[in-house]
């Protein structure tokens, strides 16, 4: 087999592969052996027909095409390995010459994984934020527990902060209903900050049966992009006003709402929980800072083929999340007034970031000689199997693709741990 590289850049390679009769002989024999059981010819036992009979019965064009496909698959894989080509997508193959069973030549174009120039990640220094919890945060949690155990009394007076109100509301923009901005029988604790800024204050002073119309501007960073920084007109009708009589925070209260016998123990547990939650959140943010700096300081270009693969994964993730909400993609696009092109445009920056991060982390792993052993992988899969009772799910963990995903996750964790160790070193 002869491989001739005709063109190669950081992102693409073109080459030709030529095979002679001696190299095609084994492929031809393999193909005829695979096809032979399909032929039933008079005078021959099943699967014993000679090559000429097989070709006559199945058609020379069909058999020759099978030979070409098998020869290209085997020789292409060998050529890529011999030339050490970091291929990232299926090849584009064009046939140049084929003399049945004696000569084959084809041209290949493939997209390559671009080289990454890592930033000086070993010199990165980023201070890890400290985790602090003040007494006000503990008090807010205690207040939530008190509200949960409060005695509720419906009152005729005007609503004030701290009351619970039940109300109906409709949101419109330019006279048209706004999706997700209408509800009946909504219950809200005034002052809780559950609604967009300014909304709850508009309900203070209203009595049961009162109606009110007012405008609210949504935050610029609102999660629904179609409403971000937009003014919506709300029409509200208050149904009830409920006053909450809160219990005193005593040892008896602590015993009722928790496994603890004293207020001191309850507060200590609340403090611990808040601290752990903030520590986990802070760790994620710190890790993100380090990875963002690594990406910023590294030079790379992302292969379009990998970006498209990532976009497919992201679309699949979105479809799964929509299904949990009882929606499908078509309904979601209709409600959000988006096209599939709009959706891809929104997703593309994150897809490119994910691909770039995977490329950079792979190079850091190589630079640091980090590996995940077969024993480590088997141990992690064994641990995961203990979490599932469903046999089908447990069996899926042994699927080669799943094993590869778990391997990549373990490797990424190792690389990130190494990056964090550098970032936290003192200068």
Q: Are residues 182 and 233 in the same domain?
A: yes
**Domain assignment present for 408:** yes
- The CATH number of residue 102's host domain is 3.30.70.1050
For residue 211, the SS3 value is: strand
Q: Is the pLDDT of residue 336 over 90?
A: no
Q: Are residues 280 and 402 in the same domain?
A: yes
Is the entire prediction scored with pTM above 0.75?
no
Among the candidates 245, 275, 305, a domain finishes at 245
Q: Of 9-13, 44-48, 186-190, 349-353, where does mean pLDDT reach its minimum?
A: 44-48
Alpha carbon 30 to its chain's center: 42
Q: Are residues 305 and 364 in the same domain?
A: yes
Q: Are residues 162 and 104 in the same domain?
A: no
Residue 427 has a pLDDT of: 61
Q: Are residues 51 and 100 in the same domain?
A: yes
Among the candidates 245, 273, 289, a domain finishes at 245
The 10s digit of each residue's pLDDT in 235-251 is 999 999 999 999 999 99
pLDDT, average across residues 313-318: 92
Q: Are residues 358 and 415 in the same domain?
A: yes
Tokens matching residue 413: 């964790």
The 10s digit of each residue's pLDDT in 386-406 is 988 888 888 899 888 899 889
Q: Which residue in 118, 94, 96 sits closest to 105, CA to CA?
A: 96
**Domain assignment present for 370:** yes
**Domain assignment present for 390:** yes
- The CATH number of residue 395's host domain is 1.10.3120.10
Q: What angle do CA 393, 396, 400 make, to 5 degrees?
A: 165
H-helix or E-strand containing 297? Answer: helix 263-297
Q: Are residues 371 and 328 in the same domain?
A: yes
Residue 180 has a pLDDT of: 75
**Domain assignment present for 287:** yes
**pLDDT band at residue 178 using 50, 70 and 90 as cut-offs:** confident
Among the candidates 56, 90, 111, a domain finishes at 111
**pLDDT band at residue 41 using 50, 70 and 90 as cut-offs:** confident
**Domain assignment present for 146:** no
Q: Are residues 349 and 295 in the same domain?
A: yes
Give the count of domains, the chain. Answer: 3
> Is 385:397 a contact under the CB 8 Å cutoff?
yes
> Per DSSP, which regions of 21-128 are E strands?
92-99, 103-111
**Domain assignment present for 48:** yes
Q: Are residues 291 and 397 in the same domain?
A: yes
- The CATH number of residue 237's host domain is 3.10.50.40
**pLDDT band at residue 35 using 50, 70 and 90 as cut-offs:** very high
**Domain assignment present for 140:** no
> Is 104:68 a contact under the CB 8 Å cutoff?
yes
Q: Are residues 314 and 402 in the same domain?
A: yes
Q: Which residue in 347, 359, 314 sits closest to 225, CA to CA?
A: 347
Q: Are residues 332 and 233 in the same domain?
A: no
Residue 283 has a pLDDT of: 94
Q: Are residues 278 and 335 in the same domain?
A: yes
Provide the domain limits for residue 71. 2-111
Q: Is the pLDDT of residue 118 over 90?
A: yes
pLDDT, average across residues 290-305: 93
> How far is the first Cα of the chain from the last one, in angstroms, to the nearest whole number?
56
**Domain assignment present for 13:** yes
């Amino acid at each position: 087999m002869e491989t001739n590289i005709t063109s190669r850049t950081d992102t693409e390679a073109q080459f030709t592969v030529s095979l002679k009769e001696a190299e095609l002989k084994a492929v031809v024999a393999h193909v005829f052996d695979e096809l032979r059981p399909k032929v039933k010819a008079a005078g021959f036992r099943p699967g014993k027909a000679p090559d000429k009979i097989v070709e006559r019965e199945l058609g020379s064009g069909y058999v020759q095409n099978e030979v070409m496909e098998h020869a290209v698959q085997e020789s292409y894989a060998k050529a890529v390995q011999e030339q050490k080509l970091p291929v990232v997508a299926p090849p584009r193959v064009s046939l140049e010459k084929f003399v049945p069973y004696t000569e084959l030549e084809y041209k290949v174009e493939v997209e390559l994984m671009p080289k990454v120039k890592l930033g000086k990640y070993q010199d990165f220094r980023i201070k890890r934020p400290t985790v602090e919890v003040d007494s006000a945060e503990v008090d807010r949690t205690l207040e939530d527990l008190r509200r949960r155990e409060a005695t509720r009394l419906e009152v005729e007076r005007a609503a004030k902060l701290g009351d619970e109100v039940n109300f109906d509301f409709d949101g419109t923009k330019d006279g048209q209903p706004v999706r997700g901005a209408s509800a009946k029988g909504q219950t809200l604790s005034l002052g809780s900050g559950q609604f967009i800024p300014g909304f709850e204050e508009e309900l203070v002073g209203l009595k049961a049966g009162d109606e009110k119309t007012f405008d609210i501007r949504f935050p610029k960073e609102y999660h629904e992009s179609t409403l971000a920084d937009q003014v919506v007109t709300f029409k509200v009708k208050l149904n009830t006003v409920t006053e909450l009589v809160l219990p005193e925070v005593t040892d008896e209260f602590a015993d009722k709402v928790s496994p603890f016998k004293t207020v001191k123990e309850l507060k200590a547990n609340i403090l611990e929980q808040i601290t752990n939650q903030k520590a986990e959140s802070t760790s994620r943010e710190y890790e993100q800072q380090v990875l963002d700096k690594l990406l910023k300081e590294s030079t790379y270009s992302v292969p379009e083929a990998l970006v498209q693969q990532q976009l497919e994964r992201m679309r699949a993730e979105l479809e799964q999340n929509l299904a949990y909400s009882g929606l499908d993609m078509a309904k979601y696009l209709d409600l959000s007034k988006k096209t599939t092109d709009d959706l891809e445009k929104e997703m593309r920056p994150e897809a490119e970031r994910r691909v770039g991060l995977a490329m950079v982390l792979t190079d850091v792993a190589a630079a640091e000689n980090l590996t995940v052993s077969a024993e480590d992988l088997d141990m992690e899969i064994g641990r995961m199997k203990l979490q599932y009772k469903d046999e089908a799910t447990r069996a899926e963990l042994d699927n080669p693709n799943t094993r590869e995903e778990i391997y990549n996750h373990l490797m990424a964790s190792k690389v990130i741990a190494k990056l964090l160790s550098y970032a936290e070193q003192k200068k």
